[in-house]
Amino acid sequence: MRQVRAEETRNALLLAAAQIFDRDGYEGTTLATVSDRAAVSKGALSFHFSSKSALADAVQYVSCERSRAELKALDDPGVPALRALGGMVRGLAERLATDPLTRAGLRLARERGAASGPAMDCRLAWRAVLRQAVLRARKEGSLRPGAGVESVVDLALALALHQEAVPADRDRETWLTDAWELLLPALASPAFSDPLTPTSP
């Protein structure tokens, strides 16, 4: 029971920290503000996290791990890779729009800068997963010959990250779906009459 309570307290602190980091950034966040938001004593906070830096590290790590796993799950091997990639773009954009933990991890990596590797920088974690989908598209023959893998990854990630590009009067998922449909002809191999399905032999 004690272990369960400790885990609940840690999760509450991580969520509260994510909300504050997302809103105020690293420099604008204090441990006192986090403990107040989580309704946890400062002593309990220091038991789990020895410093603001340690708390930010934990938020970045959990943010990357959870968002990477969710993004990877969207790469359905039963779906043509370019179509799956479009779903991954929409899924990542939705997570960024609705999940303060994901946004906080992204902001902290940008502001703190010293983190290296996909375990602490979500952009690197997301790029690695998106790259696998693009490589699958190349292997299955649905990617246009000459299309650079990194360029396609850059395009997909930029589309997911730039939420401000969506007009205020448009549904985000619909806008992203339409945008991806417009991009598909430029990405798909001519051997695919429709980017979804190979032409019949």
Confidence of residue 173 (pLDDT cuts 50, 70, 90): confident
User: Which tops the pLDDT comparison, 167 or 55?
Assistant: 55
| Rounded CA separation 79/77 (Å) | 5
| Rounded CA separation 21/105 (Å) | 8
Q: Is 7 part of a structural domain of the chain?
A: yes
Q: Which domain holds residue 24?
A: 2-187
What total number of domains does the chain contain? 1
Is pLDDT of 192 > 70? no
Q: Which of 179, 151, 186 is nearest to 165 (CA)?
A: 179
Q: Is 121 part of a structural domain of the chain?
A: yes
pTM of this structure: 0.86
Q: Is 154 part of a structural domain of the chain?
A: yes
Q: How many residues does the chain have?
A: 201
Q: Is 194 part of a structural domain of the chain?
A: no
Q: Is 97 part of a structural domain of the chain?
A: yes
Q: Is 201 part of a structural domain of the chain?
A: no
Q: Which of 65, 35, 56 is nearest to 108 (CA)?
A: 56
pLDDT in tens, 13-22: 999 999 999 9
pLDDT in tens, 96-152: 999 999 999 999 999 998 666 889 999 999 999 999 999 999 999 999 998 999 999
DSSP 41: -
Q: Is 198 part of a structural domain of the chain?
A: no
Q: Is 24 part of a structural domain of the chain?
A: yes
Is pLDDT of 198 > 60? no
- Enumerate residues 6+ apart whose C-beta is below 8 A from 141: 189, 191, 192, 198
Contact by Cβ (8 Å): 176, 59: no
CATH number at residue 7: 1.10.357.10
